Amino acid sequence: MLEKLKEAERRYEGMETELSSPEIFSDPERYAALMKEYKGLTPIIEKYREYVRAEEGHAEAELLLSEPLDADMKELAISELKETKAKMEILLDELKVLLLPRDPNDDKNVMVEIRSGAGGEEAALFAAVLYRMYSMYAESSGYKVSLMNANETELGGFREVTFMVEGDGVYSRFKFESGVHRVQRVPETESQGRIQTSTATVAVLPEAEDVEIEINPADIIMESCKSSGAGGQHINKTESAVRLTHKPTGIVIECQEERSQFKNRDKALKMLKTKLYDMKMTEQNEKIASDRKNQVGTGDRSERIRTYNYPQGRVTDHRIGLTLFSLESFLNGNIGAMIDALITADTAEKLKASENS
């Protein structure tokens, strides 16, 4: 591993030289690709150089101990030897984590789809709660949230809501949210005070880049229509809503959030590309199903991943067995601790798999 890291450092230094040359700016594509690789390698090289410094300190302490020393100097050298050895072991473990294969989608923006499941109007209201939760988390994390499409109910719930989250490393933070979310609470529509169980499904899709998905315009049927929903100033007044049908796959995309038909069309095309990219990734993942067993969650939308229990004020993630008794705070967007725990568990599984392979 250390030999590979030495090679990586030489590659890193070569990239630094190339990036500082004026010629690189005449080739924007080369510059962007090189800069992306350089940024990805930076944390690994910084950690490796920290390890090398600790190793050098350890060697110096060993050399010092091989010479005649008074009691105080000997004690100091032994202390340095123990300290640098412990530091080297910690840094090696951290390097192993950094060297794990990264998900190529981790740095991408995401499109999130929330759909009401079992439970009728209560499920739609819960879908709205999840939308608010993710929006608050995204905004507190410095991400940008853009509503793409929404099918609202009269009581303010969502049969379906789709939104985009943009920012650095968004997919790496959202990707474990795909699946069935279950809520247990007394519905606002329930007069007897009985607890009802309802569900909503969440799908987190990495945004497709233009170079990854190409769509033949002849494969798309575009229709303009009036916006629909529970109400609003611009509902049903103009035909600004857009419906796209992708003939080869049968995928239908609707977008009505903008007043401009052109803006809705652009958003709908972005949604379609992301859906097609998700299909492509799903096909690839099915081919490497054995690898998916080493992940915290498969991302399957039929997999029940989390329960939100209102009477007990708790939220439980079933994949890692973690329960937090801070439901109100969680629903207000403070979901970072849960996401961190999921990332840690997934990393541990990948480390275990890499050591056994």
User: For 280-316, what is each residue's pLDDT tens digit?
Assistant: 777 766 654 443 344 444 444 557 899 999 999 999 9
In this predicted structure, what is the pLDDT of residue 343?
A: 93
Name the nearest CA neighbour of 305 among 293, 294, 319: 319
Q: What is the pLDDT of residues 207-258, one digit of tens each?
A: 876 556 778 888 888 887 766 555 444 444 456 788 888 988 888 888 877 7
Q: What is the pLDDT of residues 28-60, one digit of tens each?
A: 889 988 998 898 899 999 999 999 999 999 999
Q: What is the pLDDT of residues 79-138, one digit of tens each?
A: 999 999 999 999 998 998 888 888 888 988 999 999 999 989 999 999 999 999 999 999
The domain spans of the chain are 2-98, 110-348
Regarding beta strands 179-185 and 304-309, do their DSSP bridges make them parallel or antiparallel, or are they unpaired? parallel
CATH architecture of 2-98: Up-down Bundle (1.20)
Q: In this structure, which topology does domain 110-348 adopt according to CATH?
A: Alpha-Beta Plaits (3.30.70)
- What is the pTM (predicted TM-score) of this model? 0.69
What residues contact residue 198 under an 8 Å CB cut-off, 6+ apart?
116, 117, 118, 119, 120, 122, 123, 126, 182, 183, 187
CA atoms within 13 A on the CB side of 98: 18
The string over 205-229, giving b where at least 16 C-beta atoms fall within 10 Å of a residue's C-beta and e elsewhere, is: bbbbeeeeeebeeeebeeeeeebee
